[in-house]
């Protein structure tokens, strides 16, 4: 799997996880195969398909918003 393919899989999974279809790769602050500690104003979630943790800014997380 190339890096570009991996990043596309992470983005697709993050869009689904964070319920934000408008999410872009530049909105993902950090991703890692290991656990991530969120910085101020960030949320972290586990993207199951590629098996990585991804951090995004809180305003891009639409899970709790109507």
Please indicate, yes or no, if residue 35 is contained in any of the structural domains.
yes
The span from the CA of 38 to the CA of 41, in Å, is 8
- At residue 66, does pLDDT exceed 80? no
| Pair type for strands 42-47 and 28-32 | unpaired
Cβ atoms of 39 and 58 closer than 8 Å? no
Residues paired with 60 in a beta bridge: none
| 5-17 per-position pLDDT tens digit | 999 999 999 999 9
What are residue 22's DSSP bridge partners? none
Q: Is residue 66 part of a domain?
A: no
64, 39, 23, 66: which is closest to 47 by C-alpha? 23
Q: Look at the chain and report how many structural domains it folds into.
A: 1
Q: What is the pTM of this model?
A: 0.90
Confidence of residue 58 (pLDDT cuts 50, 70, 90): very high
Structural domain of 25: 3-60
């Amino acid at each position: 799997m190339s890096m570009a393919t991996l990043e596309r899989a992470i983005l697709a999974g993050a869009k689904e996880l964070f319920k934000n279809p408008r999410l872009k790769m530049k909105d993902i602050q950090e991703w890692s195969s290991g656990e991530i500690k969120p910085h101020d104003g960030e949320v972290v979630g586990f993207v199951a398909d590629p098996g990585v943790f991804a951090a995004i800014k809180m305003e891009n997380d639409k899970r709790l918003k109507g």
